[in-house]
């Protein structure tokens, strides 16, 4: 399931399909967005083209420790892949007022980072799910996070 399909499903308020393809945190966010929409609101989204090929920018896996599990139990693993998508998209948002549709339409280039997740739970492999979105991390942002972390640690140490 790709990001394109996920946005179409969200715009159609198809919660049954969202349950199949989204991880629990993203699913709850989508449900909240759908329920917050007004009944006369229309959203139509379409991907016009890929500006570049989708690219995997991160692929990580970690073994999930299970307390008191027997040694012969099959492993549990969590894998996350971040995919960079650069697309041209078209979005129509509007409201029905009687028989008239008052709307805004715009197309634009969008760069998105989609996080996909797969779980192997006690040896049973599950299907890929959309975990959510993330932002590109550059050196400046990493330095800011590191500085903030050091400040928090110093504050905790001073209070102790």
Q: In tens digits, what is the pLDDT along the chain, a chain of 160 residues?
A: 444 455 566 666 778 888 888 898 898 988 888 888 887 777 878 888 999 999 999 999 999 888 887 877 788 999 999 999 999 998 887 777 776 667 777 789 999 999 999 999 888 999 999 999 998 877 777 777 777 777 777 777 777 6
Per-residue tokens: 21:
């393809």
Q: Is the separation of the CB atoms in 57 and 79 below 8 Å? A: no
The residues near 58 (Cβ < 8 Å, ≥ 6 apart) are: 80, 81, 82
Q: Where are the domains of the chain?
A: 47-159
pTM of the model: 0.71
**Residues facing residue 49 across a β-bridge:** 88
Per-residue tokens: 126:
């599950």
- Among 115, 114, 110, 53, CA closest to 87: 110
């Amino acid at each position: 399931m790709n990001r394109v399909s996920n946005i179409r499903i969200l715009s159609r308020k198809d919660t049954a399909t969202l349950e199949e393809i989204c991880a629990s945190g993203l699913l709850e966010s989508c449900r909240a967005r759908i329920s917050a929409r007004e009944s006369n609101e229309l959203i139509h989204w379409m991907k016009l083209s890929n500006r570049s090929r989708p690219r995997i920018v991160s692929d990580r896996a970690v073994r999930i420790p299970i307390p008191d599990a027997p040694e012969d139990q099959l492993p549990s693993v969590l894998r996350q892949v971040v995919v960079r998508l650069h697309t041209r998209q078209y979005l129509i948002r509007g409201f029905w007022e009687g028989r008239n549709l008052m709307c805004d339409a715009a197309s634009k280039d969008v760069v998105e980072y989609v996080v996909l997740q797969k779980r192997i739970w006690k040896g049973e492999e599950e299907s890929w799910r959309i975990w959510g979105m993330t932002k590109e991390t550059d050196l400046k942002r990493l330095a800011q996070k590191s500085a903030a972390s050091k400040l928090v640690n110093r504050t905790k140490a001073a209070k102790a």
